[in-house]
């Protein structure tokens, strides 16, 4: 499957945003141990430099392009903990790859 550079760029930018966002750790538990552990993890977080981001973008774009050339089909795995239906995942996938024929498979 050949992906357009525009699609690869959208995917790379999405991942860069997820990786570089400064979001505090949280596992939803309000217990003392959990809060202290999350605060400790946050205190050890290092800022990601522009150079690191650029290296990540180039490497990820290259890997996506190489992997796309090998594949004829794409599978999207959905975490059921987020309560999204397979149709919501298919709609998201259509936004990312609008010209591809996508249909949700039955999940077991």
* pLDDT tens-place values along the chain, 108 residues long: 567 888 889 999 998 988 887 777 777 888 888 889 888 888 888 888 899 999 999 999 999 888 888 876 666 665 555 556 667 766 777 776 665 555 555 443
pLDDT reported for residue 5: 86
pLDDT reported for residue 54: 94
Categorise residue 27: left if φ over 0, alpha if ψ from -120 to 50, beta otherwise.
alpha
pLDDT reported for residue 69: 82
pLDDT reported for residue 84: 60
Question: How far is 14 from 12, CA to CA, in rounded Å?
Answer: 5
Question: How far is 99 from 7, CA to CA, in rounded Å?
Answer: 10
pLDDT reported for residue 70: 81
The residue to which tokens 């991942």 are assigned: 15
pLDDT reported for residue 83: 59
Give how far Cα 2 sits from Cα of 30, 46, 68, 86, Å. Answer: 47, 36, 6, 25
pTM above 0.85, yes or no: no
Count CB atoms within 10 A of the CB of residue 5: 9
């Amino acid at each position: 499957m050949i992906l357009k550079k525009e699609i690869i760029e959208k995917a790379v930018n999405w991942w860069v945003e997820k990786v570089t966002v400064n979001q505090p750790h949280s596992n939803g538990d309000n217990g003392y141990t959990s809060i202290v552990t999350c605060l400790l993890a946050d205190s050890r977080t290092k800022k990601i430099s522009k150079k690191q981001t650029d290296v990540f973008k180039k490497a990820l774009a290259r890997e996506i392009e190489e992997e796309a050339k090998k594949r004829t089909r794409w599978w999207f795995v959905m975490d059921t903990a987020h309560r999204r239906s397979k149709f919501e995942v298919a709609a998201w996938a259509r936004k990312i790859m609008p010209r591809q024929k996508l249909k949700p498979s039955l999940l077991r």
